A and B are shown apart, each in its own frame.
Chain A
Amino acid sequence: MQHFWSVPRITRRAWKVWHRNIVVFFRTWKVNFFPPLIEAFLYLFAIGLGIGSYVREIEGIPYVNFIAPAILAISVMNSAFFECTYGSYVRMYYQKSFDAMIATPLSIEDVIAGELLWGATRSLLYVIIMLPVLAAFGVISLPLSLLAIPLAFLGGLMFAGIAMCFTAVTPSIDTLNYPSFLLITPMALFSGTFFPVTLMPVLFQYIALALLPLTHLVAIMRMLTLPALTGMLVLHLIWILIVTAIFCIIAINLMRKRLIV
């Protein structure tokens, strides 16, 4: 068991893996840049303006403004999670990229760390693409909302680490559907995204706060975009930092166990 907790030795070479992925991403940038843009518009129109015309306000905040940070946070979660599940699995299993990389001075720890950094970077890029759209609709405050960019990297790293743990243990690409449906989809709905956590029964509130990573990301995001900073921000941040560290470490150790035989 101790094996899973030992802190892996990662070198600067991890950035070479990150570099490889970002080169591929920007080469097909047209395909990669549209989804976050479209997603931002879809959410704003369908939920923000659609549902918003009935709900109008939540806790004294216009409904569109209330969900704007959730749109960002969900995008952070999805982009890192899907990159480090399906994306990483394809590179690992079908393309044998990791095998090719560890035949060079890169270690498996470097490779997985590079993948995690890349997953986080993808979240960051998506938030950078979405921010101008949200700003144009006037549903986020500036300049404080710009802090959503570094926050996207941290939140992205957290979901990348969680995702990579599933990738490390999944027997096939199909079984990756389970965490997507059983974890990611419910989390997108019940983490204080489209309605406040306080609307749920108390027990569920505790569960959301204790166990759902997205809850904490949405909470910080909302403090930045409204803006409505409180001391709670520090607690959310600490929660995210700890969980990120734990999952990234376990992910790397699980991957080493899977790939180094």
Chain B
Amino acid sequence: MGATIPDIIEAIHLEKTFGSIKAVDGISFAVKKGEVFGFLGPNGAGKTSTMKIIACVSPRTSGTLRVFGMDPDISPAEIKQRLGVVPQETNLDPDFTCYGNLFTYSRYFDIPPDAAQKKAEELLEFVQLSEKRDVTVEKLSGGMKRRLILARALVNNPDLLILDEPTIGLDPQARHLIWERLKLLQAQGNTIVLTTHYLDEAERLCDRLVIMDNGKILVEGSPADLVKKYVGNEIVEVEKTPDVLSCLEKNRIPFEITGDTVQIATESSRDVARVLFDHCSPHKVLTRPATLEDVFLKLAGRKLRE
């Protein structure tokens, strides 16, 4: 028999309902060892509900789920012993300092005091909070709090990191600092599951991702493959005028209208641009590489979400 490495997470037809709301609507996915797997989707898509089910803090309504080959309904403590969780909502302990938060949390994992102490100092260094070691958490900025939560998720050397919106509400500098740390963890071979509604974050960090909406998985793949498959290589944007529209139709070039620009997804922007300039007398033409955002907007529609 071939020695296949079992998946870290295996979910089949996972469902979660809150009363009449279907927060998670029959999703299936598998996360392999050592990969960074993303859940991308707008608010209310069901990402947090999915993370909570995996983290064994919220029971699934139906479906099959194995984490490290174990069932969260049966062996929650064994699974949680090997998890590191960054929840969407910051829940550091305000009665303790930065160091105290890490040390106290270590105790919940049965880590001996000596080892916990050493690890706490190491992790403060890792998230660049050594200077704030003895500061109570209320005095930290939002970015520092998120970093401390990341450090807290690492006290038990987890085999799987679950990050729910790791950079939510942070300014660009603070986000970059977290991304940098996550990249390091990724390079060390950690298995990471993360959710985000920032497309750039997903594109930057994930080896593989799913796009979720309304509790369902719309697509799955690597960011590059998804862009290629659903949009193409490049996007040509041109100002919307009646001339341009009729011209594109005449030349049978598919396009999409967003506000007052026309977007054309293509494998070759040069060809499209040539047609435009030769036949359509465009005002402004812009060419850019296609991104996950284009995939997302194409799949999830452009309707405004609150």
Which residues of A are interface residues toward B (Cβ below 8 A)? 11, 13, 16, 19-20, 23-24, 95-97, 99-107, 260-261
Decide: A104 near B104, CB < 8 A? Known: A99-B89, A260-B57. Answer: no
Q: Verify if B85 is at the interface (C-beta below 8 Å from A).
A: yes
Interface locus among B30-38, B75-83, B197-205, B224-232: B75-83
Cα A102 to Cα B80 with chains together (Å): 9
Q: Contact size class for B?
A: 20 to 34
Contact bitstring B34-59, A, C-beta under 8 A = 1, else 0: 00000000000000000000010111
Instruction: Point out the residues of chain A lying under 8 angstroms from B90, CB to CB.
Output: 96
Q: Verify if B166 is at the interface (C-beta below 8 Å from A).
A: no
Contact bitstring B100-111, A, C-beta under 8 A = 1, else 0: 000011011110
- Within 8 Å by CB of A16, from B80, B87, B107, lies B107
Interface of B is mostly: loop
Instruction: Point out the residues of chain B lying under 8 angstroms from A261, CB to CB.
Output: 18, 58
B156 nearest in chain A by CB position: A104
A104 nearest in chain B by CB position: B108
CB within 8 Å of A: which B88-139 residues? 89-96, 104-105, 107-110
A17 nearest in chain B by CB position: B108
Q: Are A23 and B104 in contact (CB under 8 A)?
A: yes
- Within 8 Å by CB of B91, from A11, A96, A105, A106, lies A96
With A19-B107, A104-B80 already in contact, 12 other A-B pairs whose C-beta atoms are closer than 8 Å:
A11-B77, A16-B108, A20-B93, A24-B96, A99-B89, A103-B87, A104-B108, A105-B80, A105-B108, A107-B76, A260-B57, A261-B58
Q: Are B59 and A260 in contact (CB under 8 A)?
A: yes
Which residues of B are interface residues toward A (Cβ below 8 A)? 18, 55, 57-59, 76-78, 80-81, 83, 85, 87, 89-96, 104-105, 107-110, 156
Instruction: Point out the residues of chain B lying under 8 angstroms from A24, CB to CB.
Output: 95-96
Instruction: Point out the residues of chain B lying under 8 angstroms from A103, CB to CB.
Output: 55, 57, 80, 83, 85, 87
Q: Are A95 and B94 in contact (CB under 8 A)?
A: yes
Instruction: Point out the residues of chain B lying under 8 angstroms from A106, CB to CB.
Output: 77, 108
Q: Which of B57, B95, B108, B156 has the most CB of A within 10 A?
A: B108
Q: Are A105 and B110 in contact (CB under 8 A)?
A: yes
